[in-house]
């Protein structure tokens, strides 16, 4: 995230005198470089670590077919342990999918309002509030799911249990919305004013300006915002653990309890013996999650970068 500004690079000229300032400059440059490179070091370190921990499983008990296509997850069985993550993937995907259906209209609407309509104090305070919303810890969201949404869903829809796809999807949608709003608003801001001015000069109404000019121009940035939201959804753990009902299940309806990949790791890792096949299988899920979120975030980043340049 940290980059060395090319303008601040010391110039190598003839009258270079190596005084105190010169050394301080060098040191600071080095520190900034280390900080900048640390993100890369950490990410590679983490990847190497989880691959290393999960490697034994990949070599011995892993079967591609079982792992990805079997819905049975019972790794602690003494005789015939089962390591299928299909149901867990279905759980994560269904919850994230619903979350996006909830979050996209919310965040897009909020971004358009903040970026195009709100002015002055209202705009600034809205922006601060959105960032504040993004800072609510996920345990708090999970608690809301468990103690407010659960009885509400039972009452409203007359279902036996309120911990299900609907509950977790709505919670996750609300969690992802502020981040998506921030990024979408950045994307709208990146659209040059002359586009709007040109559209208005042609007699377009405000809605027409947004719908016909600004949104198409900010298309990539908005897509990036959505993808980052999806990445957040895949990676979220605590709220999902608390609100899904934690049942290994391929959901047939919104009211079926499910279990997410992340929640499975969180719930089981602390209680498995280090180095056991179960432990390694959990790390293999970790590798899978890591790759997926990495790809999603990378795509989002590339798309967002694409528009900034273009």
Partner 1 sequence: MKRNFFIAVSLATTTLFYSLPANAADRTIIQNKGSDTLVNVAQAWAEAYRDVDADIAVAVSGGGSGTGIAAMINGTVDIANTSRKMKSKEVKMAKGKGQHPFEHVVGYDALAVFIHNDNPIKSLSFEQLKSIFGRGGKATKWSDIGINVPGCKSDKIVVVSRQNNSGTYAYFKKAALGKKGKFRQGTLDMHGSKDVVDLVEKTPCAIGYSGLAYATDHIKMTCIAKQNGGECVNPSVETASDHSYPIARPLFMYTNGEPKGAVKTYLDWIKSDAGQCILMKKGYAPSRDVSCG
Q: Which residues bind partner 1 (CB under 8 A)?
A: 1, 71-80, 82, 87, 131, 134-135, 137-138, 158-161, 163, 179, 182-183, 186, 245-250, 256-257, 259, 267-268, 270-276, 278
Helix (H) or strand (E) holding 24: helix 20-59
Q: What is the smallest separation between the CB atom of 278 and partner 1, expressed in angstroms?
A: 7
Cα separation of 130 and 115, whole Å? 13
- Closer CB to partner 1, residue 132 or residue 198? 132
Closer Cβ to partner 1, 116 or 256, answer by number: 256
Measured from the CB atom, the residue of 11 and 273 that comes closer to partner 1 is: 273
Closest separation in Å from C-beta 218 to partner 1: 16
- Could you tell me the smallest distance in angstroms from the CB atom of residue 119 to partner 1? 21
d(CA 32, CA 24): 12
Coil, helix or strand for 127? Answer: helix
**Rounded Cα gap, residues 118 and 110, in angstroms:** 10
| Closer residue to partner 1 (CB): 139 or 198 | 139
Name residues whose C-beta falls within 8 Å of residue 152's C-beta, 6 or more positions apart in sequence. Answer: 162
CB of 271 to partner 1, least distance (A): 4
Q: Is 63 exposed, middle or buried, given 0-12, 13-18 or 19+ CB atoms closer than 10 A?
A: exposed
Q: How far is the CB of 150 from partner 1 (least distance, A)?
A: 9
> In this complex, which beta carbon is closest to partner 1, that of residue 204 or of residue 238?
238
- As measured in angstroms, the least distance from the Cβ of 53 to partner 1 is 14
Which residue number, 100 or 258, has a Cβ lying nearer to partner 1? 258
- How far is the C-alpha of 283 from the C-alpha of 265, rounded, in Å? 8
Check the CA dihedral 231-233-234-237 and report its sign: positive
């Amino acid at each position: 995230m940290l980059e060395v500004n090319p303008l601040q690079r010391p110039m190598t000229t003839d009258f270079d005198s190596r005084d105190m300032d010169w050394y301080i400059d060098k040191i600071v440059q080095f520190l900034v470089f280390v900080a900048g490179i640390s993100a890369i070091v950490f990410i590679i370190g983490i990847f190497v670590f989880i691959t290393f921990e999960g490697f034994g499983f990949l070599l011995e008990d892993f079967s591609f077919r079982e792992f990805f296509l079997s819905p049975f997850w019972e790794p602690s069985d003494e005789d015939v342990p089962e390591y299928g993550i299909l149901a867990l993937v279905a759980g994560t995907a269904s919850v994230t999918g619903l979350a996006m259906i909830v979050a996209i209209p919310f965040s897009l609407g909020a971004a358009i309002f903040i970026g195009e309509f709100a002015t002055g104090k209202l705009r600034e305070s809205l922006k601060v509030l959105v960032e504040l919303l993004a800072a609510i810890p996920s345990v708090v969201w999970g608690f809301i799911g468990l103690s407010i949404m659960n009885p509400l869903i039972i009452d409203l829809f007359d279902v036996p249990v309120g911990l299900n796809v609907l509950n977790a999807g709505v919670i996750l949608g609300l969690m992802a919305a502020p981040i998506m709003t921030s990024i979408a608003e950045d994307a709208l801001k990146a659209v040059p004013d002359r586009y709007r001015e040109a559209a208005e000069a042609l007699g377009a109404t405000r809605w027409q300006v947004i719908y016909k000019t600004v949104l198409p121009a900010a298309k990539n940035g908005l897509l990036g915002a959505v993808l980052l939201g999806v990445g957040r959804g895949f990676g979220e753990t605590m709220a999902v653990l608390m609100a899904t009902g934690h049942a290994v299940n391929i959901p047939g309806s919104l009211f079926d309890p499910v279990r997410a990949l992340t929640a499975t790791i969180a719930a089981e890792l602390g209680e498995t013996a280090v180095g056991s096949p179960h432990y390694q299988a959990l790390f293999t899920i970790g590798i899978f999650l890591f790759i997926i979120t990495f790809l999603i975030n990378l795509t989002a980043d590339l798309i967002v970068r694409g528009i900034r340049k273009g």
